[in-house]
Structure 1
């Protein structure tokens, strides 16, 4: 791929020479600027982690609004997850390390979604049994980062579907397929399970 060819960034594929300014524009995010980092440091009451000071994280969406609410005494929560299909490597742990720091400094709740359904739909060679097994093994590594047990909540999609589904059907009704295709880059061969998963992934935000 040459420098002039378009880069691709989806949850399932990254290729080409990434233009980070263009990527930020495409996803509608803002620079993680010095003023907002200074504000976060003051609210956290301590030094920022290297992930922030060294620019590993360079962009955000609405962090200023979150900090506004936190400064007024209103709580917020953190949400991340893992699609289990094999062992974790260091890059997988990067977002969890930042979340652990935020939880520790700001005293917030953390929700971890294990998307065993997604990886079963996305990886033709992965069995249901293996997706669940990898989910538990990955979870051990994630929790070893050092989350507060009293403020951390974990759930597997396949085992929490009774709680997830009522909200998922409401979310799915509001999102057109064209939006899902554009964001996730789904080709025509994508199975309908993976398409519906995008609604399930949205549920923890509420």
Structure 2
């Protein structure tokens, strides 16, 4: 999933983007928008991300109407921050964007932006997949020296998860907050909040959004049916609200027009297509986005880590010994079945989970390429790659 074919900053910018223009949000309110990114053996919605084989990230860019993060954008980020780009950007793991060029234009002219990301608390601890947006967000906060808001959507989990009580969702938000704090964000520039605690402050922004999004539009984007409770149908406005600085009069010191950048996984794009569509109606700027590829399950390609299957995920609370056992026993291998075949044919590194995890977490580009070369040629064995991980 990390080849140029699937993004990785290798595609050419369209003529319209080169001029700093935005594609129109695809199917912002059209019927059938909920299945955008679906087909060809994959389904990608805010609640489901599954594929028969590997995800086709080109299809998602095409279907959602976003742009690839080009090499010139990465070079510009390096120039503006005076530091090497994060490995997630260098390796195309964050590969798609909306209005990132325009945001960098504003920053270069001296106008700071703020960052917005979040977590839907449904488990006691975060797993590695949950860390991906937070890891890049921390780098962006340091590199650009900007404020950050982090939303914990305990209300969402209560509305969408039938087995969770409201009190439990609130407890999980605070449990997850500990993991997020441990990422090391700048405390003086970071505001983290539970929706259940803070929603009164955001409510004027939320109701303004709700008034301008019809049920037909929400159904078209999110696939709501008659069986969804009305809380589910109203929730997208809650996730949209932090995209606008008016929701944070104290944390953002009264700013009403500060641009917003949202690092998130590509499956969350539907929320922000709606947000970007409604922004001009409210007199707000559209938020910019950068999208990540999915962090795969230990069990192999075609799915992302799931909090519902312990063997598919590595949790931040797992001991070193438990992590080692999970990787050795469950990490899907692209290696051959026998030592002899591995030496002769080498591994399929495109489907090997240990290689993918190293691509996310091993900082040294040269070492990563050397491991991939040796493993693909048969010089390295699966056990050796897993040991390095």
Short-chain TM bin: over 0.9
RMSD (CA atoms) = 1.5
User: 1:131-158 CA deviation, whole Å, 9 max, x = no partner?
Assistant: 1111011111111111000000011111
CA distance in 2, matches of 1:15, 1:181: 21
Q: Mark the structure with the bigger radius of gyration.
A: 2
More helix by share: 1
CA distance in 1, matches of 2:56, 2:223: 18
CA distance in 2, matches of 1:42, 1:96: 23
CA distance in 2, matches of 1:92, 1:172: 28
Any residues of structure 2 matched to 1:1-206 within 5 Å, and which?
A: 5-17=40-52, 18-86=55-123, 87-206=125-244
Asked if the contact 1:29–1:60 (Cα under 8 Å) also holds between the matched residues in 2, the reply is: yes
SS of the aligned residue for 1:153 comes to strand
SS of the aligned residue for 1:113 comes to strand
Asked if the contact 1:78–1:109 (Cα under 8 Å) also holds between the matched residues in 2, the reply is: yes
Asked if the contact 1:10–1:185 (Cα under 8 Å) also holds between the matched residues in 2, the reply is: no
Asked if the contact 1:116–1:131 (Cα under 8 Å) also holds between the matched residues in 2, the reply is: yes
- TM-score normalised according to structure 2 size: 0.51
CA distance in 2, matches of 1:38, 1:50: 13
1:182: Cα distance to partner? 3.0
1:161: Cα distance to partner? 1.9
CA distance in 2, matches of 1:91, 1:182: 28
User: 1:23-70 CA deviation, whole Å, 9 max, x = no partner?
Assistant: 112222101110011001111111111111111111111100110000
Instruction: Report how many aligned residue pairs link the two structures.
Output: 204
Gaps in structure 2 of 5+ consecutive residues? 1-38, 245-389
1:6: Cα distance to partner? 5.0
Q: Which residue of 1 aligns with 2:330?
A: none
CA distance in 1, matches of 2:86, 2:238: 31
- TM-score normalised according to structure 1 size: 0.94
CA distance in 2, matches of 1:185, 1:123: 17
SS of the aligned residue for 1:126 comes to coil
SS of the aligned residue for 1:95 comes to helix
